[in-house]
Amino acid sequence: MVILRIDDILRERGMTEKELALMMGVSYQSVNSVVRCRENPSAKKLKRYATALGVPMNELFQEL
């Protein structure tokens, strides 16, 4: 099973979901639904998250 690490990366960087949303030009609700796994984002959207967070896309994932 694979989970998203966006919440962990935000904590590591001392960022909030609101700050990430502002950086990406999307709503807080949009970011929150991805972080809380209520939405399955497309590869294109995941690439935008990785770019905004300054990490390679593979760092967004953690295998359990």
pLDDT in tens, 18-63: 999 999 999 999 999 999 989 999 999 999 999 999 999 999 999 8
Q: How many CB atoms lie within 10 A of CB 54?
A: 9
Which CA distances in Å does 58 have to 3, 14, 52, 61? 11, 20, 14, 6
SS3 29: helix
Q: Left, alpha or beta for 57 (phi > 0: left; psi -120 to 50: alpha)?
A: alpha
- pLDDT at position 29: 97
Question: At 16, is the pLDDT very low, low, confident or very high (cuts 50, 70, 90)?
Answer: very high
